[in-house]
Amino acid sequence: MADGTFATVVNCMDGRTQLPAIDWMKREYGVDFVDQITEPGPDGIMSSGDEAGIASIKKRVLISVEKHGSKVVAIVGHHDCAGNPVSKSEHERHVGDAVSLVKSWNLPVQVIGLWIGESWQAERIL
């Protein structure tokens, strides 16, 4: 097990979303580190049933949970996403689908959804 406490974020590769998600997770969960699993539009990948994309994300989530002891996994959707260019309401649906998917893996973690809006601030939506 790693030194320190961990959370996990399944986030977009968009650099504008990294620090807001890390800062929010550290503040809200009091963790030392936040593992980043990035893809272009991961909420869309996970919602669409993309088996290869989901398998890749799951493999990395398992490493974070099993090797770092992460206790919470956040799925992030964000404003102006090039990888999943849909409306906020569609992102919220995709994040919800992704949260349900991760919960179905029956890991010993809390699974939440985050939205990063136009002001690049993270907020919990699920």
Domain CATH number, residue 45: 3.40.1050.10
Q: 46 lies in a domain?
A: yes
Q: What is the span of the domain harbouring residue 87?
A: 6-124
Facing residues of 55 across strands? none
The answer for residues whose C-beta is within 8 angstroms of residue 57's C-beta and 6 or more apart is: 10, 37, 39, 42, 45, 46
The answer for residues whose C-beta is within 8 angstroms of residue 36's C-beta and 6 or more apart is: 9, 11, 18, 21, 22
Backbone angles phi, psi at 113, to 5 degrees: -120, 140
Q: 90 lies in a domain?
A: yes
Q: What is the DSSP letter of 119?
A: T
What pLDDT score was predicted for residue 29?
A: 98
Q: 67 lies in a domain?
A: yes
Residue appearing with tokens 């995709």: 94
pTM: 0.96
What pLDDT score was predicted for residue 63?
A: 98
The DSSP-derived string for 99-113 is HHHHHHT--SSEEEE
**Is 4's pLDDT higher than 70?**
yes
Q: 30 lies in a domain?
A: yes
Query: Domain tally for the chain?
Result: 1
Q: Which segment of 2-6, 13-17, 49-53 scores lowest on mean pLDDT?
A: 2-6
Q: 86 lies in a domain?
A: yes
37-72 pLDDT tens trace: 999 999 999 999 999 999 999 999 999 999 999 999
Q: 1 lies in a domain?
A: no
Q: 66 lies in a domain?
A: yes
Q: What is the DSSP letter of 81?
A: -
What pLDDT score was predicted for residue 1?
A: 66
